[in-house]
Amino acid sequence: MRRADGIRLAIGTLSMKISDRDVLLVIDVQNDFCTGGALAVPGGEKVVPAINRIAQKFANVVLTQDWHPGDHVSFAANHPGKQPFQTIELDYGTQVLWPTHCVQGTAGAEFHRDLDLTRASLVVRKGFRRGIDSYSALFENDKKTPTGLLGYLRERELKTVFVAGLALDFCVRFSAEDARKAGFEVVVIEDACRGIDLNGSVAATHRSFKEVGISTISLEAFL
């Protein structure tokens, strides 16, 4: 059966009905986004048990990985006089300046040690071009440079994208919204995400999800 918000539920239960046309997209569960990391999301590592449990129900799991060069344009350290969380203007718009994080080949860029990687059929690395940041798993921040994930989803004939990971109000949000714009049904698993909440960005994310037709559910739907 189908609820008003478009999410499929098994008849007579609260269990989510997952098909082979569904994919779990796990965003950036990396050491630098967890406690003790260079850009720690509050409680970031707490998404790991939830994601591991949910992933068992999916035939299709995709992981993304922030993978920046050390001289990346989004790092405040590469802009003399600038501090983390200030902004600059680039050709593609306003860019938040971040603490140096997820540098290629470093421990901070590695997936959290407890994240189960065995079910992943694809790992998408993003943000590796020096001059452009990449929040979304599908497109870099210019909204036109593709990561290749969209082609993968379409060629595999996947229909519904379930999104979890870090951070809710940046990379999860951009990934979910780009997938929705591309024509997929999109579901964000809220308690398998954590947010940074920069200047009200979590509330803005929830408003945007409602406006563009992205559903949100809790882990309970999978139990």
Active site residues: 28, 126, 171
Q: Are 95 and 116 in contact (CB under 8 A)?
A: no
Closest CA to 30 of 156, 114, 97, 142: 114
Per DSSP, the three-state class of 186 is: strand
Let me know how many helices (H) and strands (E) the chain has, helices first: 4, 8
Which structure tokens are listed for 192? 């398998």
Strand locations in 154-220 (E): 160-166, 185-194, 215-217
Q: How far apart are CA 86 and CA 88, in angstroms?
A: 7
